[in-house]
Chains A and B, each alone.
Chain A
Amino acid sequence: MSVEDLPITRDRPPPGLPLLGWTGLRRFPAVPQVVTMELVGLNQTLTQLGLPIEPLFTLELVLAEVLNNVVEHAYEDRGEGMIELAIAVRDHAIHCEVLDHGTPMPNGCLPPKRRYDLDATGMQDLPEGGFGWGLIRDMTRGLCYAREAGANRLRFRVDLDG
């Protein structure tokens, strides 16, 4: 038996139905408690589809940061306004699109990752926020933002195989 005859083994799940075409669309109010419920529900759904745990954690964290930004900044914590979240699992990635009708991003573009020199930072000056865009930029691919017809549209993907 030659090497070519051996079965191919893969570290990632074999291409199958769950990775090919699942899509989901959710529309919910921009309220922190609702965002938490949506994230927990989505995680359960995608876990049941058989997606691996590591990219699902990444997805949950990225979505938490993105959705919290919509709640706090686009809708300025007013407790009103709706968020639309579209998810598609295909091509070994989780593709996301988040739509809101709140305030545009400052200067019409995505905020940069903030850098902190923690070694030179005194304890009382440690940052309590501003981590969000760094985490989003570090953990997503294909991040893109557009302001279209009074709506903010953010697209990105989380790869399933790292």
Chain B
Amino acid sequence: MEIVMEAKGPIALLHVMPDRIDASVAIQFKDRFRDLVRDWAGPVVLDLQNVVFLDSSGLGAVVAARKLLGEGRQLELSGLTPAVEKVMRLTRMNAVFPIHDTVAEALQAHGVAPAA
């Protein structure tokens, strides 16, 4: 799965490029995420603004990604589209992840200026 990583100071910004995280790509999402964050010590922000469909398998993969980072590294989400927000709310997983409206807000929350 195409996920593009951008280092922003202490933050790893992971842009999910496909418009769906569902049962057909959940394993690829987990594998790619694991490869990207292997050598990263800081917080990770997952940019989901392209994702217009997330099912429970996709949500499970995001939860697995959270666990992979362990207690020492945060996983935050940004740019939830209405459909993704609804799934997070119905499963109450919105209480588990810090959620930001935009990437810029996520970076600002960590004191990183959004402009490159």
**Which chain B residues numbered 14 to 62 have a C-beta less than 8 Å away from chain A?**
20, 22-24, 53, 55-57, 59-61
Chain A proximity mask over B70-86: 1 for CB below 8 Å, otherwise 0: 01000000000011001
Instruction: Report the minimal beta-carbon distance from B39 to chain A, rounded to whole angstroms.
Output: 21
- What total of chain B residues lie within 8 Å of the partner, measured CB to CB? 26
Give the CA-CA distance A57 to B86 in the complex, in Å.
10
Out of A35, A61, A135, name the residue touching B24 (CB < 8 Å).
A35
Asked if B109 is at the interface (CB within 8 A of a chain A CB), the reply is no
Asked if B66 is at the interface (CB within 8 A of a chain A CB), the reply is yes
Instruction: Report the minimal beta-carbon distance from A85 to chain B, rounded to whole angstroms.
Output: 16
Instruction: Report the minimal beta-carbon distance from B28 to chain A, rounded to whole angstroms.
Output: 11
**What chain A residues lie within 8 Å of B115 (beta carbons)?**
none
**What chain B residues lie within 8 Å of A84 (beta carbons)?**
none
Contact A135 B90 (CB under 8 A): yes
**What chain A residues lie within 8 Å of B22 (beta carbons)?**
32, 36, 64, 68
Instruction: Report the minimal beta-carbon distance from A67 to chain B, rounded to whole angstroms.
Output: 8
* Segment touching B, from A4-12, A88-96, A124-132, A154-162: A124-132
**What chain A residues lie within 8 Å of B1 (beta carbons)?**
none
Asked if A148 is at the interface (CB within 8 A of a chain B CB), the reply is no
Give the CA-CA distance A123 to B71 in the complex, in Å.
8
Listed in ascending order, the chain A residues whose CB lies under 8 Å from chain B are: 32-33, 35-36, 57, 60-61, 64-65, 68, 71-72, 116, 118, 123-124, 126-129, 131-132, 134-135, 138-139
Listed in ascending order, the chain B residues whose CB lies under 8 Å from chain A are: 20, 22-24, 53, 55-57, 59-61, 63-64, 66-67, 71, 82-83, 86-87, 90-93, 95-96
Enumerate 29 A-B pairs (CB-CB under 8 Å) in ascending A order.
A32-B22, A32-B24, A36-B23, A57-B82, A61-B53, A61-B86, A64-B22, A64-B23, A64-B55, A65-B55, A65-B56, A68-B22, A68-B23, A68-B56, A68-B57, A118-B92, A118-B95, A126-B66, A127-B63, A128-B61, A129-B56, A129-B60, A131-B56, A131-B59, A131-B60, A134-B91, A135-B56, A135-B87, A135-B90
